[in-house]
Amino acid sequence: MTEKHLYIVFGNPASPEQDAEFNEWYEGTHIPDVLAHVPGVVSAQRFKHQQLDSDAGKPVKFSYVTVYEIEGDPNEVMAKIGAGVASGEIRMAGAPFDAARMSMAFWTPVSEKAEKAKNAE
């Protein structure tokens, strides 16, 4: 059985004014490049931070998170991402994101996924 992992990337646009450009680049360029050129990356989904009423006024560290599903060795996947960036297959030049405030890590499951029974509601 192939090892499965999550590769989770937290990020922000380079500036608030570049939010639309950031989202367009991420969804129209970056994710398609990664999916097309990195074997082992099987899916990607982006999420936007949802501020709770109880957190109103508190600073938000990251506006967006991308969750990639990975099959195989995370070190090999990262090496392939690096090679894709170096070759230009994964286009990063001029990308409108704040690289200094980005955070990413691989996560390995320690249990099976628990799901609510379909007729439980």
The CATH number assigned to the domain holding 34 equals 3.30.70.100
Q: Kindly list the distances between the CA atom of residue 49 and the CA atoms of 8, 25, 66, 79, 121, in Å, as whole numbers in the listed order.
A: 14, 18, 11, 29, 27
Q: Does 119 map to a domain?
A: no
Instruction: Report yes or no on 112 lying in a domain.
Output: no
Mean pLDDT calculated for residue range 52-61: 84
Within-domain flag for 48? yes
Does 47 fall in a domain? yes
Q: How many domains does the chain have?
A: 1
Which one-letter amino acid corresponds to residue 7? Y
Q: Residue 121: pLDDT band by 50, 70, 90 thresholds?
A: low
Domain annotation covers residue 115:
no
Whether residue 113 is contained in a domain is answered as no
What pLDDT, in 10s, does the model give residues 70-103? 999 999 999 999 999 999 999 998 899 988 889 9
pLDDT tens track for 3-21? 899 999 999 999 999 999 9
Q: pTM for the whole thing?
A: 0.88
Examine residue 72 and state whether it is found in any structural domain, yes or no.
yes
Asked if residues 11 and 105 have their Cβ atoms less than 8 Å apart, the reply is no
Q: Would you say residue 41 lies in a domain?
A: yes
Structural domain boundaries enclosing 102: 4-52+59-107
